[in-house]
Amino acid sequence: MSDRHYRGRFAPSPTGPLHFGSLLAAVGSFLDARAHDGEWLVRMEDLDPPREVPGAADDILHTLEAFGLHWDGEVLYQSHRHAAYQAALEQLEASGATYPCACTRREIQAHAGLTGSPSIYPGTCREGLPAGRAARSVRLRVPDTDIHFDDRLQGRCVTALARQSGDFILRRADGLYAYQLAVVVDDAAQDITDIVRGADLLDCTAQQIALQQVLGYPTPRYLHLPVVVNAQGSKLGKQIRSPKVDTTHAVTTLCAVLEALGQSLPEGAGESTLEDFWSLATTAWQAERIPPTRTVPER
């Protein structure tokens, strides 16, 4: 790997308690960091109050502690970072990389009804607001060129943003900063070298790299872990009311996570203390054994 000292992170959104799927993302990022003698930070992505559940942020942190997932430094809360996001937005605005947009979701959907591509912004306001319309959101002008990156697990990824997302939102009509902006600003501010997270986020990586490029930030390495799905193929999470992961038999649960991550269970891991478990699992960690798929079944 590179000379920059490894810094990884786990960045949960406090929309509910930690479930088996989010625990897998935490464990994958933690072990990859520790196996590289790196640091592992926790960032609370409490950027979107309407989607948050009161108490979930503390609950997630207590659950991480109960599993022995000890992070380095202080937890960074995105709710305290608005000034940094505003500064980045102003930098982008000043360089002409953004534009104000007046379109409502309904208008974009109506347009999509004609073209059949619901999530692609058609560029209506790119050359200026239509007469008599007021700005609602701010969008990034995406480059015409492809964005490519080599995911350590999923392989080479190439995205033509202009065709696949179009110009995307950096500040929403409700005034909130978009996740894409916040995550890029924070990963750079925290000097993150390695992002290990669920493959449900693979499709936003190109947007994040485009933003890093216009902001002049380095691009971290990426490893997108398979996402845990239930027997019906749905991703675990709030939508399907996945239960909070049980902390009473922490080592047993962690062994199931290791199995889902394709790791060979170190001898004695199942009967060890939490502390011994982490030292065995860190020594045995082999990222190349993780299934290079977008999903894995729940255990």
Mark 188-227 with x for binding to ligand GLU (rule: CB under 6 A) and - for no binding: ---------x---x--------------------------
Q: CA separation (Å) from 103 to 14, 205, 208, 265?
A: 29, 24, 22, 52
Give me the least distance between CB of 253 and ligand GLU, in Å please: 20
What is the nearest approach in angstroms of ligand GLU to the Cβ of residue 11? 4
Residue 177 gets which letter from DSSP? B
Q: How far apart are CA 11 and CA 208, in angstroms?
A: 15
Check binding of 19 to ligand GLU (CB under 6 A). no
Contact 135, 202 (CB under 8 A): no
User: Within 170-189, which residues bind ligand GLU (CB under 6 A)?
Assistant: 183
Residues ≥6 apart with Cβ < 8 Å to 57: 14, 44, 46, 77
Nearest-angstrom CA–CA distance, 40 and 60: 16
Shortest Å, Cβ 57 to ligand GLU: 12
In angstroms, what is the minimal distance from the CB of 38 to ligand GLU? 16
Query: Nearer to ligand GLU by C-beta: 136 or 152?
Result: 152
Chain residues 27-56 in contact with ligand GLU, contact rule CB under 6 A:
45
- Judged by CB under 6 A, the residue of 7, 8, 13, 169 near ligand GLU is 13
Residue among 8, 11, 38, 42 that touches ligand GLU (CB under 6 A): 11
Buried-exposed string 236-274: b where 16+ CB fall within 10 A, e elsewhere: bbeeeebebbeeeebbebbbbbbebbbbeebeebeebee
Distance in angstroms (rounded) separating the CA atoms of residues 162 and 184:
19
> What is the nearest approach in angstroms of ligand GLU to the Cβ of residue 208?
8
Q: Interface with ligand GLU by CB under 6 A: which range of 6-14, 33-41, 211-219, 226-234?
A: 6-14
Cα 1 to Cα 230: distance, rounded to the nearest angstrom: 34
Mapped onto helix, strand or coil, the DSSP state of residue 98 is strand
**Distance, CA of 10 to CA of 24 (rounded, Å):** 11
Residue number with CB closer to ligand GLU (133 or 235): 235
| Three-class SS state of 65 | helix
Residue 51 C-beta: closest distance to ligand GLU, Å = 10
- The residue range among 9-17, 92-100, 246-254, 281-289 that interacts with ligand GLU, by the rule CB under 6 A, is 9-17
Nearer to ligand GLU, 103 or 183 (CB): 183
> Which residues, other chains included, contact 46 with Cβ-Cβ below 8 Å and sequence gap of 6+?
13, 14, 52, 57, 77, 78, 79
For residue 268, the minimal CB distance to ligand GLU (Å) is: 32
Please report how close the Cβ of residue 41 comes to ligand GLU at its closest, in angstroms.
11
Q: Which stretch binds ligand GLU (CB under 6 A): 7-15, 67-75, 152-160, 261-269?
A: 7-15
Name which position in 7, 8, 12, 81 contacts ligand GLU (CB under 6 A). Answer: 12
Residue 192: count of CB within 10 angstroms of its CB: 22
3-state secondary structure of 167: coil
Residues in touch with ligand GLU (CB under 6 A): 11-13, 45, 183, 197, 201
